[in-house]
Amino acid sequence: MNINGFEIERKFLIKYPDINKLLDNPLCRVLKMEQFYLQGGGRVRKIEENGKITYIKTVKKHITDIKREEKEWEIEEEEYIKEIGNKAFGTNIIKKTRYAYPFYDLIFEIDLFPFWNDRAFLEIELNDETQEFIVPEFLKIIKEVTADKRYNNSSLAREILNEAL
């Protein structure tokens, strides 16, 4: 796998969702992820879905708050293990469960982290920067955090935010 292109994405802090409502959709995918960030930039992920493990390396280049150039490719487990030694100083490996929830021709990615039990992330990949969308009623948005660098996963790898909701 080698994907090159642009990622247009909006990100929201949401109240912790009802997992059963996510799973009520038979097309909802559940992915267990571990990811870390590299000293020279980039990210490496281990993704487990239905017992299959995949390793992905990603490099992103910021264009605007919601648009990035993205290159990602599959790597072998040996390279993943080797890259752990290149993990950015002062960062932790982030573990999360991602629910990829299809809704109105979009995929809503809901990320649950073991360090939060009252909030989660919702990411929506769009076709263009002005695309409108409807959020499922059971997902309760607290605020948009697309442009707030404190809510980047790379920032969470350094420091977990626990501000009052």
Domain segments of the chain as ranges = 2-156
Name residues whose C-beta falls within 8 Å of residue 64's C-beta, 6 or more positions apart in sequence: 129
Type and span of the H or E element at 81: helix 77-84
Whether 9 and 123 have beta carbons less than 8 Å apart is answered as yes
Q: What is the structure's pLDDT at 4?
A: 65
Q: What is the structure's pLDDT at 152?
A: 87
What letter represents residue 31's amino acid?
Answer: L
Q: Which CATH number fits domain 2-156: 3.90.226.10, 2.40.50.140, 2.60.40.10, 2.40.320.10?
A: 2.40.320.10
Residues of the chain whose pLDDT is less than 50? 1-2
Q: What is the structure's pLDDT at 154?
A: 86
Residue 34: alpha-carbon gap to chain centroid: 11
Q: What is the structure's pLDDT at 73?
A: 97
Q: What is the structure's pLDDT at 3?
A: 59
Q: What is the structure's pLDDT at 160?
A: 81
Distances in Å between the Cα of 54 and the Cα atoms of 41, 79, 153, 155 are 20, 12, 19, 24
